[in-house]
Amino acid sequence: MTGALSVLFSANGLPDLPIILVEPHRNREGVWRIKFCYADGEPLSMSSIQASALACDLHQMGETQLADEIDDAVKSAKRYCSM
């Protein structure tokens, strides 16, 4: 992971670990969030708004694969929220 990615992840409350899965997740309060899963460590989640901003930053850095995964999870969360 590059230094810029480490800084971006840290600024968003994410660890400097490889992300193995990004998915929508409904918390105990019924709010849809975006969950980041790691091979080592507990999954972490953030609001869809924060995740969208993170994806935008990742796109600007050329990290399109991860950015697209986050965008897809956000779209799914929005769809689930409207059901």
Q: Nearest 5°: CA angle at 68, between 53 and 60?
A: 55
pLDDT digits (tens, 9 = 90+) for 51-80: 999 999 999 999 999 999 999 999 999 999
**pLDDT tens readout for residues 7-33:** 999 999 999 899 999 999 999 999 999
**What's the pTM?**
0.91
CA distance 69 to 10: 19
Q: How far apart are CA 16 and CA 10, in angstroms?
A: 7
Describe the chain by its helix, strand, coil percentages, rounded to 5.
Answer: 50, 20, 30
Question: Residue 79 phi/psi, 5° resolution?
Answer: -65, -45
